[in-house]
Amino acid sequence: MAYVILGTCINDAACVDVCPVACIHPAPAEAGFATADMLYIDPQICIDCNACAEACPINAIVREQDLTPKLLRYKTLNAEMALARSKVA
């Protein structure tokens, strides 16, 4: 299980500051932040600590198991974006 960033994300990156395992990308210091459509959580690394969800100023991060059917798509989207990043890196 992991946390998932939703499409309402505004790239505030408060989540990046509090994530203990640095699984949220792109961080403001990383390439691609300036042009990122949204941030995402790498589900392979996320440890389910809830810190990001607490830090998000607009409640755009939810637990995977709490995703409504309409939002399930964002679980895939986060995972896809994480995979695309690891391929490039």
Partner 1 sequence: MSVPNQAAALRVAIVGAGPSGLYAAVELLRRDARATVELYDRQPCFGGLVRSGVSPDHAERRRVSAFYERLALASGRFRFHGNVEIGERISHADLCHHHDAVIYASGLSADRSLGIAGEDLPGSHAASDFVAWYNGHPDHAQRHYDFDHERAVVVGNGNVALDVARMLLLGAARLRHTDIAEHALQALAGSRIREVVILGRRGPAQASFTAPELLELIEQDEFEVVIENDNSFQHPAEADPGIALRLRLFEEIRRRPGSAGARRLVLRFLATPLEIVGGERVTAIRVADNELVAHADGALRARAGTSTHVIDAGLVFRSVGYRGRPPAGLPFDAATGVVPNRAGRVFDPRGGDQYRGVYVAGWLKRGPRGVIGSNKPCSRETVDALLQDAAAGKLECVADRDALDALLAECGADRVDYKGWKAIDEQERLNGLACGRPRVKLVEMTDLLAAARAPARRRAA
| Choice between 2 and 36, CB closer to partner 1 | 36
As to burial, measured by CB atoms within 10 angstroms (0-12 exposed, 13-18 middle, 19+ buried), residue 29 is exposed
Give the tokens for residue 25.
């990308």
| Choice between 7 and 47, CB closer to partner 1 | 7
The DSSP letter of residue 20 is: T
| Choice between 22 and 47, CB closer to partner 1 | 22
79 near partner 1 (CB under 8 A): no
10 near partner 1 (CB under 8 A): yes
19 near partner 1 (CB under 8 A): no
